[in-house]
Each structure stands twice: as structure tokens, then as C-alpha cells.
């Protein structure tokens, strides 16, 4: 299904909002008996399709996962090093891939970056929430005069992004962050590390989201509940 046919699946059209996206798609899927999450389909779309459609207008988009993942034209691919070393390492790899692509293309780095797991098939409305709050922050920063040194917030108060929270549970792989800030935070020490420990350094503001929108697939029971039970490929 094309992204322009998906409701609430695209970023705002305003050209002044610069946003990339990293889709984390290379986990071991242990609770799914190692069946790749990205491959699970409802008969129309795979989980990977849903994630890419949710961020269809982000540029660049990068999927962090193995070479065997089928990707549409224009979507970048990279892999955490070493493979299966965790989502923090995957985020680092994705951010560096975006930076390298911008350098090759001789275009500026994006202002913002969406971070998304591959296992949330109904995530498009939540992505729109993140875009809206990031745009609001951008507009506020543009409209507000720069504070003096005495008025400026200290590092512990300043926020460099937003992450989702649903029914009191924070969603580290449903977020949007200022690109240079998150790239700096994830620059070293990410192998087998906690994603939340890195993201907390950005002091992200919470965005309340629907549990239906953020429902993820970690087990076969969850896959059944969401209708994603058919694997289109058996391994990475």
C-alpha cells in the first residue's frame, strides 16, 4: 500500500521542518522463536511496511537490519556492529548512516530524527503526535527571543526531544529528538546498552499516546491480537 493512501501516515508538508527517521528492525525476536518481526504480515502489509509508511515523508529514512530485508527504493540500510548488539547500537548505526548520507549528498543534517521500532503496526497516529509537538517546539524556539545567560535553562532542564508514554509506560522506540543532540548522546558505548539510559540524557518530554496506537508485537499472543501472524520470510 502506498504511503499516500495511508491515513495519518505522512509528515506535515511545510518545507521548513527537517526530519529523518531511524527504524530499528534487526532484533533477534527471541519471544517469537526467532521469526523476524519485520516479516510478520496481516495479509496486506508487513510490520516493516507499516513502520516505513508511518514515516513516509521523513528524509532520509534508514532501516537498521540485515541485508535480507526487502526495502523500497530510496530507503537506506545499515546494521549495528556487531549484529544483535541491541537497539542502542542500532540507533547509533542509523544516526551515523544518516550523517554519512547527508555528507555524500552535500545536504545539511536534519534538525530532527524519529526513532521507531519495527513492531508497532498502528503507530502512524502516534508519529503524527510526535511531529506536531516537535513542530510546536521549533516554532516556539523561533518566535521566542534568546534568553540571557541568567535566564537560560541549565542542561538538566533543557529538553532535546519527545518520547511516547502510554498508560504510564514509556516507549523508548517511539520518539523524536533533535538530530545533533541524539547523535552526540549515542556516539559511544552503545553495544548491549540500555536505550533509556541514553535517551534520559536528552531529558525528553513525555507525549501521552493511545495504547492502541503503540501496541507492539513481542510475542505470538500479541501478534495474534493485532492480526500479524504470517511470516513472509523465515530468517534474517
Q: What is the DSSP string of 210-226?
A: -HHHH---SSHHHHHHH
Average pLDDT of the chain is 89
Our count of domains for the chain comes to 1
pLDDT at 68: 87
| pLDDT band at 148; cut points 50, 70, 90 | low
Within-domain flag for 148: no
Q: What is the CATH number of the domain that holds 44?
A: 3.90.550.10
Strand (E) or helix (H) holding 182:
helix 179-185
Within-domain flag for 180: yes
Within-domain flag for 66: yes
**Nearest partner of 121 among 174, 68, 77, 83, judged by Cα:** 174
Asked if residue 172 has pLDDT above 70, the reply is: yes
Contact of 220 with 119, CB cutoff 8 Å: no
Contacts of 218 (CB under 8 A, 6+ apart): 31, 32, 119
pLDDT at 7: 43
Within-domain flag for 147: no
pLDDT at 140: 83
- The residue segments making up the domain with residue 38 are 3-142+153-231
pLDDT at 2: 36
Report the pLDDT averaged over residues 144-152. Answer: 52
Strands, E assignment, the chain: 19-24, 40-41, 61-64, 76-78, 112-117, 161-166, 169-178, 205-208, 230-231
Asked if residue 181 has pLDDT above 90, the reply is: yes
Asked if residue 235 has pLDDT above 80, the reply is: no
Report the pLDDT averaged over residues 3-31. Answer: 70
**Nearest partner of 227 among 121, 126, 116, judged by Cα:** 121
Asked if residue 10 has pLDDT above 50, the reply is: no
**Nearest partner of 59 among 18, 111, 14, 118, judged by Cα:** 18
Give the tens place of pLDDT for each residue, 38-91. 999 999 999 999 999 999 989 999 999 999 899 999 999 999 999 999 999 999
Q: Is 62 helix (H, G, I), strand (E, B) or coil?
A: strand
Asked if residue 233 has pLDDT above 60, the reply is: yes
Asked if residue 236 has pLDDT above 50, the reply is: yes
**Nearest partner of 172 among 114, 213, 124, judged by Cα:** 114
Within-domain flag for 219: yes
Give the tens place of pLDDT for each residue, 94-124. 999 999 999 999 999 999 999 999 999 999 9
Asked if residue 153 has pLDDT above 50, the reply is: no
pLDDT at 104: 97
**Nearest partner of 59 among 92, 90, 101, judged by Cα:** 101
Report the pLDDT averaged over residues 8-22. Answer: 68
Give me the sign of the Cα torsion angle 128, 79, 3, 233.
Answer: negative
Asked if residue 3 has pLDDT above 50, the reply is: no
Amino acid at each position: 500500500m502506498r504511503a499516500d493512501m495511508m491515513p495519518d501516515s505522512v509528515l506535515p508538508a511545510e518545507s521548513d521542518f527537517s526530519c529523518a527517521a531511524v527504524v530499528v528492525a534487526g532484533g533477534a525476536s527471541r519471544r517469537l522463536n526467532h521469526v523476524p518481526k519485520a516479516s510478520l504480515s496481516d495479509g496486506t502489509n508487513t510490520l516493516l511496511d507499516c513502520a516505513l509508511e508511518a514515516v513516509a515523508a521523513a528524509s532520509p529514512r534508514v532501516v537498521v537490519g540485515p541485508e535480507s530485508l526487502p526495502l523500497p527504493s530510496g530507503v537506506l540500510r545499515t546494521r549495528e556492529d556487531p549484529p544483535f548488539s541491541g537497539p542502542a547500537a542500532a540507533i547509533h548505526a542509523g544516526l551515523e548512516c544518516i550523517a554519512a548520507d547527508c555528507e555524500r549528498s552535500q545536504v545539511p543534517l536534519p534538525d530532527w530524527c524519529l526513532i521507531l521500532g519495527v513492531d508497532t503496526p498502528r503507530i502512524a497516529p502516534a508519529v503524527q503526535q510526535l511531529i506536531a509537538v516537535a513542530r510546536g517546539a521549533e516554532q516556539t524556539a523561533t518566535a521566542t527571543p534568546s534568553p540571557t545567560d541568567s535566564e537560560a535553562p541549565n542542561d538538566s532542564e533543557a529538553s532535546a526531544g519527545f518520547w511516547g508514554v502510554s498508560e504510564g509506560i514509556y516507549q523508548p522506540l517511539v520518539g523524536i529528538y533533535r538530530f545533533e543532540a541524539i547523535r552526540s548522546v549515542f556516539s559511544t558505548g552503545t553495544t548491549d546498552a540500555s536505550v533509556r539510559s541514553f535517551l534520559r540524557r536528552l531529558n525528553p518530554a513525555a507525549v501521552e499516546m493511545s495504547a492502541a496506537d503503540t501496541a507492539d508485537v513481542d510475542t505470538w499472543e500479541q501478534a495474534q491480537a493485532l492480526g500479524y501472524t504470517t511470516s513472509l520470510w523465515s530468517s534474517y
